[in-house]
Amino acid sequence: MRVYLDNAATTPIDPEVMKQMVQVMESQFGNPSSIHAHGREARSLIEKARKTIAGLLHTSPAEIFFTSGGTEADNTAIRCGIIDHGLKHAITSRIEHHAVVHTLEALEKAGNIKLSFVNIDDKGNVDYAHLEQLLQENERTFVSLMHANNELGTLTNVERVGELCEQYNALFHCDTVQTVGHYPHDLGKLKVHFMVCAAHKLHGPKGTGFLYINHKVKINPMIYGGSQERNMRGGTENIYGIVGLAKALEMAYKDMAAHQQHIQGLKSYMIDQLQQIPGIHFNGETAPEKSLYTVLNVSFPEMEMADMLLFSLDIAGISASGGSACSSGTNIGSHVLNGIGANPDRPAVRFSFSKYNTRDEIDFTLNKIREIVSVNA
């Protein structure tokens, strides 16, 4: 058996999504910017996808801009939001995705902003009192805080953050890569200026995503070169990916409650079983109301050859991550686990689930974990 438990890194593409993309590949090859019939047909597919996504998120199609994924969307929102609005201060946390932290650090190094880090506790929860203090002490600010941490699963109360940002006239960017398609987002009510999505996190294709830009905020493009995306993002649109993204999101919303119940059941079962192994510790929040139901981060007991734990799991037929997949292969450790003060001597593994995982796969994984822990005890 081969078990895939690295869905926070990427998800397998849904067959229905693939089917729709292939249909477009086979019949719609026109450039969406061309005014002839082939181009108009391609353009209509893109606008239909935009309308579908906007409808699911309760916003206007004019506020959805297609990108190459979450990283480009994050960079666009942060760089253009800060520079075009002349903001001199930004707030984030030390456990944000590198697409956020590294972008803000680069802006600080260039002298564009002063960067502040809001306090977090040992489970990755934001200190909202400290956030308000930072907002009070500084001029108009750019705030970037993610909805759910990609390594820990800890959820941030984005409604509360949005209210604070509105109170102190701050721009709010929220990295929602891990939660779009897994939780409903009502952009008609949520007080957020920028929100992002990557299709491959919700059983869509890699290389496609979107950036939501609230109509009250005006920014210039980060990528120049053409008038695509209403002059917001130069470059010929990835029509196949955009169609796949819209289909994946549509399917995610259709079966969201059932998928959440199924996946949360697998996660809760795994937590119960792992708790019976001496020395197991969970990083981040695990309560369903405080934690992303697709992610479980586990610290194992100190063991010989701890750096070989992921390799041992892989050999045993289990694909998982030692933190964020974007840091795989490095020896500097997870900045997220470092940020919450996790014990560096204990190997940590992120197991992340999808609608395709089964109880049998979890039992198989648990048995292999017991064997590995027993051998290394």
Spatial CB neighbours of 349, under 8 Å, sequence gap ≥ 6: 297, 298, 300, 309, 310, 313, 320, 321, 322
C-alpha to C-alpha distances, 349 to 7, 71, 163, 296, nearest whole angstrom: 13, 23, 34, 8
Q: Which of 81, 45, 47 is nearest to 64 (CA)?
A: 47
The active-site residue, picked from 80, 174, 197, 326, is 326
197 counts as catalytic:
no
CA atoms of 138 and 114, how far apart (whole Å)? 10
Distance between CA atoms of residues 231 and 226, nearest Å:
7
Q: How far apart are CA 160 and CA 101, in angstroms?
A: 21
Angle between helices 256-274 and 359-376 (to 10 degrees): 20
Question: Residue 77's closest CA among 234, 235, 214?
Answer: 214
The size of the chain, in residues, is: 377
Rounded distance, CA 211 to CA 358, Å?
Answer: 33
Q: Which helix (H) or strand (E) holds 355?
A: none
| Distance (Å, whole) CA 5 – CA 321 | 8
Active site residue ranges: 326
